[in-house]
A and B are shown apart, each in its own frame.
Chain A
Amino acid sequence: MRNRRRLETLIERLIEGVVWFCGISAIVFVALIFIFVFREGAGYLFKGLNLREFLTSPEWYPTSAANKRYGVLALIAGTFSVTALAMMIAVPFGLGAAIFISEFCGAKVKETLKVVIELLAAIPSVVWGFIGLTVMNPVIIEVFHAPIGLTVLNGGIILALMSVPIIVSIGEDSLKAVPDSYREAAQALGCTRWQLVFRVLLPAAKNGLLAAVLLGIGRGVGETMAVLMATGHAVNLPTSLLDSVRTLTATIAAELGEAPVGSEHYQVLFIIGILLFTITFIVNLVADLVVRGIRGK
């Protein structure tokens, strides 16, 4: 009996140690990745790169024979336009679906929908990109009489479809986390279902829902393969939804492979990586602050 207890304590300690190690190693890995990305880009970032031109010029000519220019404004604009459109589509649909699944549908429909949405989340991004390239391109040309279908619109729709599962599953979780006593109290006061959702559940689950949206944005900013194939990969400051654009991530994916290691071009691609790191860091920080409710104070 005593031996058994001792063994149990030992196993518990061991598991504790493993969990601790996993937690710490996550921090170590993130730190190492950041150090690596920073080290590869740092040389040119501090010596040679005109940071103002980098951030404000849309001229991206990394391999020009006469005059190399590294301006990422058009790439930033591309990333933000596609992400913004995707969120405009995905947030209402995602939150709507989350509310429907958690409050309005029966058990059977709920299970089916959850499985289908998880399947949607499991489709690899390269497949989404392929759909954008081969299916949506001719459709957009046909419907909008556009010269080309690889546009902000195409990328936005594809990204929205990719973000919806995240928004739905986290949104549904946070709605489920609202205690049933809130629902019972509201019903006891004679609320309709809509009043219950809008006046009670949404305010109560606010933090979780905002976190869902921000994670969706994170996915939008970081997605690479699908936008590479669906947006046309054109260096362009978009003026309409039917313009082709290029994103920061897609630029790294397309060009890093052939940029000679250590060259200016190579280092600038890593500086774009640092920029992306900064953007996702800000998004995550905002998400974190929101979840902690600091925003409300």
Chain B
Amino acid sequence: MRSKNSGGRQMAAIAAVVLFALLGCGGGGNGEKLTIQNAGSDTMVNLAQHWAEVYAKIDTTVSVEVSGGGSGTGIAALINGTVDLANSSRKIHADESERARSNTGSVPVEYIVGYDALAVYVHKDNPLEEITLEQLAEIYGTGGTITAWSQLGVNNAGCAKDEIIRVSRQSNSGTYEYFREAISHAKGQSLDFKLGSVDMNGSKDVVELVAKTPCAIGYSGMGYATPQVKMLRVTRKAGEPAYAPTVATTQDQTYPIARPLYMYAPGSPRPHVQRFLDWIHSEAGQKLVEESGYVPIPHTAASENAGNP
């Protein structure tokens, strides 16, 4: 299924490139067309393509070439100096930044281009409504003691053996790393996931599996919600109010597991790349973030952030 998806994206990417090439020929006359190579995060690839398509109409002198492959791939390309902008759904690691510096001679520059709320999904018939980060750490993290739905105080009738089935992501996705850090933070110590979680290969697969498995709990971007699953309200600590993942709760930071979506440039960006970044941070660019199912940067922050990381 993953291959099907990325195949589709690849096709779309090729189509976009061909389209840009054609546009370039048609509108030629004033010299060479500038290209922006943009690669990385699977979470962000649809959004990035959306940006590229719309931006092509606004600035006809620049074409943006988008490919996915995952946050790790994008940052690897940044280190090798083969991209102008790397998309990442996690923060760059210090050692990666250092390797990029020693390879290309300049320190990567970070831009926050939007937010994504990680929703915690359960089957639609599951009576559970809310969960704390500590409970999530007990369910997912090493040394955690919660293994049954009854320990969360619910009678999950659809689940025959009361066992919690943990649905996770493959171990090098940005989503996996972010969720691991979130539960580590809740416990105040560095945690790994318990072995034996069911690891799916894509954000969409997680939601599909939870929809078909009454015993399951899983995490994935909020944009993937369907009527067959329920998004839990999440709270930082027991006793505090719990919040559902929405645009508003993500923007005011009351929803506890929302993460920024990043773009990294190798050193300070060239003028045409900077223009593209400014446009992404503008109202028009941020509107596309919301249209793609993610959370735009709150308005004041957006204007501060533009071109000034």
Contact = CB atoms under 8 A, between A and B. Distances in A.
B192 interface: yes
Contact of B198 (A59, A244, A259): A244
B160 interface: yes
A22 B196 CA distance: 46
How would you classify the secondary structure of chain B's contact residues: helix, strand, loop or mixed? mixed
Given A234-B196, A234-B199, A62 B172 contact: yes
A227 to B, nearest CB: 12
**Counting chain B CB atoms within 10 Å of each CB, which of A126, A134, A225, A258 scores highest?**
A258
Given A126-B3, A254-B199, A150 B209 contact: yes
B177 interface: yes
Interface of A: 58-67, 74, 126, 129-130, 133-134, 137-138, 141, 145-150, 225, 228-229, 232-236, 244, 246, 254-255, 257-261, 265
Interface of B: 1, 3-4, 69-73, 75-76, 79, 96, 159-161, 163, 165, 170-173, 176-177, 180-181, 184, 190, 192, 195-201, 205, 208-209, 212-216
Contacts of B69: 257-258
Contact of A74 (B73, B173, B195): B195
Contacts of B195: 58-60, 74, 234-236
A85 B206 CA distance: 26
B213 A141 contact: yes
Contacts of A229: 1
B76 A260 contact: yes
A234 B197 contact: yes
28 contacts: A61-B192, A62-B172, A63-B172, A65-B184, A66-B192, A67-B192, A126-B1, A133-B1, A133-B208, A133-B209, A137-B209, A137-B212, A145-B160, A147-B163, A147-B165, A147-B213, A228-B201, A233-B170, A233-B198, A234-B199, A235-B197, A235-B199, A244-B198, A257-B70, A258-B72, A258-B172, A260-B72, A260-B79
A129 B200 CA distance: 13
Contact of B172 (A126, A138, A148, A265): A265
A254 B2 CA distance: 10
A62 B192 CA distance: 11
A150 B196 CA distance: 12
A276 to B, nearest CB: 18
Nearest to A74: B195
Contacts of A129: 1
Given A257-B69, A257-B70, A235 B196 contact: yes
Contacts of B73: 257-258
Contact of B173 (A59, A67, A246, A258): A258
A234 B213 CA distance: 15
A63 B196 contact: no
Contacts of B216: 148
Given A126-B3, A225-B3, A148 B213 contact: yes
A133 B198 CA distance: 12
A233 B200 contact: yes
A265 to B, nearest CB: 7
A258 B2 CA distance: 14
A259 B70 CA distance: 10
A148 B198 CA distance: 9
- What are the 5 closest A-B residue pairs judged by CB atoms, nearest first? A258-B72, A145-B160, A147-B215, A258-B70, A258-B172
